[in-house]
Amino acid sequence: MKANIVLLPGDGIGPEVVSAAVQVLEAVGQHYDHKFVFTEYLIGGSAIDKTGNPLPEETLQACRSADAVLLGAVGGPKWDDPRASVRPEQGLLGLRKGLGVFANLRPVRVHPALIEASPIKSDRLLGVDLIVVRELTGGLYFGQPKKRDWVDGQQRAVDTLEYTENEIERIVDLAFRLARQRRRKVSSVDKANVLESSRLWREVANRVAQRYPDVTLEHVLVDTAAMRLVSVPQSFDVIVTENMFGDILTDEAAVLAGSMGMLPSASLNGQYGGLYEPIHGSAPDIAGQGIANPIGTILSAAMLLRYSLGLEQEARAIEKAVDQAITEGARTRDLGGSLTTTAMTQAIIERLD
Ligand code: ATP
Ligand code: MG
């Protein structure tokens, strides 16, 4: 097949890890006879430097017409001046909004050889393989009113947790479809004992579940979910939840995997190609040294093949090669080893079959 992939290397270690993932995609393309066409555009701080705009119109247009977008990271100390009117992060937020990606997917798999790298260091992590589906465009982050005013001589601040049935339905449905490709279990996380929006969330989730009789649905209160993530993480397959609950739970889940450098993400909406990026930031402290762990971005490329191009076998080949490289001792510095970004990438490419 032929696919147009837009690359947004961005700032800091972004260009280093994106280049690593492109090498892996090229190797996969050669092996399976696919033609991936890569075109690079500006975003974030480097876009501000060259154009004054963290998300040039040209970049957004290219992303909208691409089959998929692979992004590195944006931001860094150079653009951290709080008085600046344009900031690199606006580029990423604008892109998510411009693509209308309402679902953020973060898989967490714990490699048995990396259990020691996680603060939990326990057999409880054996076999952890879960994915958090976070609602990204609604909920407490965007509900209206959102305001400050004065009441009885003091300031008051208001945030609103708001969801429509349609917004809940599309994200829960996506979680069920994912579960069908996995272990057929959905854990819908809410706070239905307190929040009205959560009670609606539960109703809609129950309704969606009727269309998927082969998938098990459980409702979990968010406080219980936070506890279970560290005590019995293997009990989860697909977790689906509200925007802010998801923000908190994905950071908690990330710790299980040992290093931020390991974890991929996808942001989807079904209409455009999807946006893929590692969960880590631009890591200015190690940028330009060639020592960044490329695995989070390489696994994001695997997700891109799976969700935007429908290339499941190819996605699995990448995941298997990463697993095997780790099993055989390949480690970048964040994992306690000394491989460079290039050497780690090579170790993975050699193991593609
Ligand atoms: P942002 O605000 O952009 O999300 P952040 O402040 O959360 O960034 P990161 O840039 O993700 O932070 O970096 C946090 C720490 O993790 C840094 O010490 C960084 O060097 C390290 N780190 C992040 N990604 C990687 C990677 N791919 N390989 C190695 N170390 C990494
Ligand atoms: Mg961060």
Q: Look at the block and give the residue holding tokens 């631009």.
A: 282
The pLDDT assigned to 120 comes to 87
Domain CATH number, residue 246: 3.40.718.10
The pLDDT assigned to 3 comes to 98
- Out of 121, 123, 147, 223, which one is annotated catalytic? 223
The pLDDT assigned to 127 comes to 92
**pLDDT over 80 at 322, yes or no:** yes
The pLDDT assigned to 37 comes to 98
**Per-residue confidence band for 168, with pLDDT thresholds at 50, 70 and 90:** very high
76 lines ligand 1 (CB under 6 A): no
Six-digit token string for 42: 């500006």
Q: What mean pLDDT do residues 166-184 have? A: 96
- The radius of gyration of the chain's CA atoms, rounded to the nearest angstrom, is 20
Whether residue 108 lies inside any domain: the answer is: no
Cα–Cα distance between 353 and 323 in angstroms, integer? 13
pLDDT digit string, tens, across residues 323-334: 999 999 999 999
Residue 83 annotated as part of some ligand binding site: yes
Q: What mean pLDDT do residues 271-287 have? A: 92
- Out of 141, 159, 185, 320, which one is annotated catalytic? 141
Q: Are residues 197 and 157 in the same domain?
A: yes
The pLDDT assigned to 117 comes to 85
Q: Are residues 240 and 174 in the same domain?
A: yes
> For residue 292, what are the CA distances in angstroms to 16, 233, 260, 280, 315?
7, 28, 11, 11, 22
Q: How many CB atoms lie within 10 A of CB 39?
A: 10
345 lines ligand 1 (CB under 6 A): no
What is the value of ipTM here, to two decimals?
0.94
**pLDDT over 90 at 271, yes or no:** no
Ligand 1: centre distance to CA 201 (Å): 34
Q: Are residues 63 and 137 in the same domain?
A: no
**Per-residue confidence band for 272, with pLDDT thresholds at 50, 70 and 90:** low
Whether residue 113 lies inside any domain: the answer is: no
Q: Are residues 142 and 249 in the same domain?
A: yes
- Enclosing domain of residue 347: 1-101+267-353
**Per-residue confidence band for 87, with pLDDT thresholds at 50, 70 and 90:** very high
Residue of the nearest CA to atom 19 in ligand 1?
A: 283
Whether residue 67 lies inside any domain: the answer is: yes
Q: Are residues 134 and 246 in the same domain?
A: yes
Q: Are residues 277 and 309 in the same domain?
A: yes
Q: Look up 49 and say whether it is catalytic.
A: no
Longest dimension (CA), the chain: 70
pTM: 0.94
> Higher confidence at residue 271 or residue 27?
27
Residue 106 annotated as part of some ligand binding site: yes
Ligand 1: centre distance to CA 3 (Å): 30
Percentage above 70 pLDDT, the chain:
99
Q: Are residues 251 and 278 in the same domain?
A: no
The pLDDT assigned to 63 comes to 97
Number of structural domains found in the chain: 2
| Domain final residue, candidates 213, 229, 257 | 257
Number of H helices, E strands in the chain: 11, 12
pLDDT digit string, tens, across residues 89-137: 999 999 998 999 999 999 999 999 999 888 888 899 999 999 999 999 9
Tell me the average pLDDT of the chain: 96
| Domain final residue, candidates 257, 292, 308 | 257
| Domain final residue, candidates 230, 257, 284 | 257
The pLDDT assigned to 273 comes to 78
Which of 78, 255, 280 has most ligand 1 atoms within 8 Å of its beta carbon, as the pocket-test mutant? 280
233 lines ligand 1 (CB under 6 A): no
Residue of the nearest CA to atom 7 in ligand 1?
A: 281
Whether residue 112 lies inside any domain: the answer is: no
Across 80-94, 192-206, 265-279, the highest mean pLDDT is recorded for 192-206
Q: Look up 251 and say whether it is catalytic.
A: yes
Q: Are residues 314 and 194 in the same domain?
A: no
**pLDDT over 80 at 189, yes or no:** yes
The pLDDT assigned to 259 comes to 87
Q: Are residues 23 and 62 in the same domain?
A: yes
The answer to whether 329 touches 351, Cβ cutoff 8 Å, is: no
